Amino acid sequence: MSVHSLIGPSSASRRIQCEQSFWAEKEYLEKFGESRSSGEATEGTNAHAVLETWIKEGEEKALIQLHALFHDKAEDHKEYIKVAVDYVEHYRKKGFTFYPEKSFNLSSIHPDCFGTADLPAVSQNKKRILIGDFKYGEGVFVENDYTYQSVEEIDVVGFPYSVQLGKYAIGLLDEFKLWDTVEEIILTVIQPRYNSEDEPIREQKVEVFELKILQAFLKEHYAKVLGAKDPSKLAYKVGSHCQFCNASGYNCPAQQDALNELVNEVMPEKEIMEYESSAHTDQVLEFVAKALQLKPAIDAFYKKVNEVCERLVTDGHGGALGLAWGEGRASNKYPEDIKTPEDLSNALMVSGIIIDPEDVREVSLMAHSNVAKLLDKNGKKVLKDLLVKTPGRRKLVPANSPTALPKDFVLDDFKDIITN
């Protein structure tokens, strides 16, 4: 059994929204294994370890571990970890027993489904259960409701809360056999480091029937995705959920297309930000909404491209250069206003060539290379003067391509738009 289930609770959001993510991430993980821990992730793992010790073995042991792991930053981290400790104490006084870092078998959803909950708890009379999830990140606000997922999905899933926490609750009810007796289910996100006005502790109460709907939905969904005869027919869906996807920046064509499209949308139209008419304001708002939604995915994309390249090189898979935004091929066009013999005669006159419109037999659109073949040296020069070069669309190119743009070029563009 690998450490993480590919259909475990922490990936639930993207597995529901993007059917292809399972297969795309599987391919990545088969090649590279689990992602290497970033500094941020290591900090989170250490904070979870201290919390677990605190709850299981008490403050004294936890503080020794805290200092060993965080050194001169220990006091700062203690303050954050204490938020979760106080939460646990509050419910312990009400008679709850906590099972920190408990693994749940979620085979009632799928045989390959399992996961580890941070702070699951059961009340003394077994009528109340609680799932606490300790989120240690400070950059991404973690919703404990469904607002970051689409309205259609609420209809489909019928579960307006965090699916990740809902899955842990299903695991707990299965394991303790409490489905028929439980009366209250509390799902709680504890996120002490997120810098905002929002409460660091966000509780939601869920009904048993809602969890049953979620369980049935997930069972059907995973059976469809994992049992697909032709996985290539499953749909991709790009969105903020791509942020934690291992396929991001590696083997996901949908994300590359969406980013390409977005970049092409923003580059030539940056100036629309300066318009103030209501029509343009709508356009700008629509664009900014889209850019903001994809911003985490864009950041993740770049991060993963770097990680993949590094791993390809260090793991001896050959020298990968990665991808970069590049300038697509420019195309040569003739001005669109040359439609009649008179237009042609006027256009050539600018280059000093006089042609009587009466002598022109036909004006037709031909490929630049075909016209060039019909002309002598002089004619080719005239032809060149008439050409209009349209810049190529932005696209992803190998990082060593001569058309690759500096790495921060695109992100800088987004920064302007998002902060203005």
What is the rounded distance in angstroms from the CA atom of residue 116 to the CA atom of residue 73?
A: 27
Closer of 15 and 128 to ligand SF4 (Cβ): 15
Instruction: Mark residues 145-164: x for contact with ligand SF4 by CB under 6 A, - for none.
Output: --------------------
Considering only 24, 50, 62, 119, the residue that binds ligand SF4 (CB under 6 A) is: 24
User: CB of residue 96 vs ligand SF4: minimum separation in angstroms?
Assistant: 36
Considering only 20, 65, 123, 162, the residue that binds ligand SF4 (CB under 6 A) is: 20
User: CB of residue 12 vs ligand SF4: minimum separation in angstroms?
Assistant: 12
Q: Name every residue whose Cβ is closer than 8 Å to that of residue 9 and which is 6 or more positions away in sequence.
A: 106, 115, 117, 163, 164, 165, 167, 168, 171
Considering only 6, 7, 13, 14, the residue that binds ligand SF4 (CB under 6 A) is: 14
Told to check if 242 binds ligand SF4 by CB under 6 A, we report yes
Task: Give the 3-state secondary structure of residue 77.
Answer: helix
What is the rounded distance in angstroms from the CA atom of residue 97 to the CA atom of residue 82?
A: 18
User: CB of residue 33 vs ligand SF4: minimum separation in angstroms?
Assistant: 18
Told to check if 182 binds ligand SF4 by CB under 6 A, we report no
DSSP H helices, 267-376, are: 278-314, 341-350, 368-374
Considering only 241, 295, 311, 394, the residue that binds ligand SF4 (CB under 6 A) is: 241
Q: Which amino acid is at 358?
A: E
Determine the Cα angle at 26 with ends 18 and 398, to 5°. Answer: 85
Closer of 6 and 81 to ligand SF4 (Cβ): 6
What is the rounded distance in angstroms from the CA atom of residue 346 to the CA atom of residue 354?
A: 8
**Region 243-282 residues binding ligand SF4, contact defined as CB under 6 A:** 245, 247-248, 252, 254-255
Closer of 20 and 46 to ligand SF4 (Cβ): 20
* Residue where the block lists tokens 């590696």: 250
Closer of 208 and 234 to ligand SF4 (Cβ): 234
Stretch that binds ligand SF4, among 20-28, 40-48, 278-286, 330-338 (CB under 6 A): 20-28
**If you write DSSP's letter for every residue of 346-399 in order, what string do you get?**
HHHHHTT----GGG--------HHHHHHH--HHHHHHHHHH-EEEPPPEEEEET
What is the rounded distance in angstroms from the CA atom of residue 115 to the CA atom of residue 172?
A: 11
What is the rounded distance in angstroms from the CA atom of residue 311 to the CA atom of residue 304?
A: 10
- The answer to whether the CB of 134 falls within 8 A of the CB of 193 is no
What is the rounded distance in angstroms from the CA atom of residue 390 to the CA atom of residue 303?
A: 32
What is the rounded distance in angstroms from the CA atom of residue 300 to the CA atom of residue 2?
A: 24
Closer of 88 and 247 to ligand SF4 (Cβ): 247
Told to check if 12 binds ligand SF4 by CB under 6 A, we report no
Closer of 14 and 193 to ligand SF4 (Cβ): 14
**Region 34-63 residues binding ligand SF4, contact defined as CB under 6 A:** none
Structure tokens at 315: 């793991």
The footprint of ligand SF4 on this chain (CB under 6 A) covers a number of residues equal to 16
Considering only 7, 12, 16, 18, the residue that binds ligand SF4 (CB under 6 A) is: 18
User: CB of residue 260 vs ligand SF4: minimum separation in angstroms?
Assistant: 13
- The answer to whether the CB of 243 falls within 8 A of the CB of 304 is no
b (16+ CB within 10 A) / e for 167-194: bbbbbbbbbeebeeebeebbbbbbbbbb
Considering only 13, 21, 46, 204, the residue that binds ligand SF4 (CB under 6 A) is: 21
User: CB of residue 222 vs ligand SF4: minimum separation in angstroms?
Assistant: 15
User: CB of residue 236 vs ligand SF4: minimum separation in angstroms?
Assistant: 4
What is the rounded distance in angstroms from the CA atom of residue 114 to the CA atom of residue 408?
A: 39
b (16+ CB within 10 A) / e for 79-105: ebbbbbbebbeebeeeebebbbbbebe
Q: Name every residue whose Cβ is closer than 8 Å to that of residue 42 and which is 6 or more positions away in sequence.
A: none
Told to check if 238 binds ligand SF4 by CB under 6 A, we report yes
Instruction: Mark residues 217-236: x for contact with ligand SF4 by CB under 6 A, - for none.
Output: -------------------x
Centre a 10 Å sphere on the Cβ of residue 151 and count the other Cβ atoms it contains: 9
Closer of 11 and 188 to ligand SF4 (Cβ): 11
User: CB of residue 237 vs ligand SF4: minimum separation in angstroms?
Assistant: 6
Closer of 18 and 129 to ligand SF4 (Cβ): 18
Closer of 18 and 312 to ligand SF4 (Cβ): 18
Told to check if 22 binds ligand SF4 by CB under 6 A, we report no
Closer of 230 and 336 to ligand SF4 (Cβ): 230
Residues engaged in binding ligand SF4 (CB under 6 A): 14, 18, 20-21, 24, 236-238, 241-242, 245, 247-248, 252, 254-255
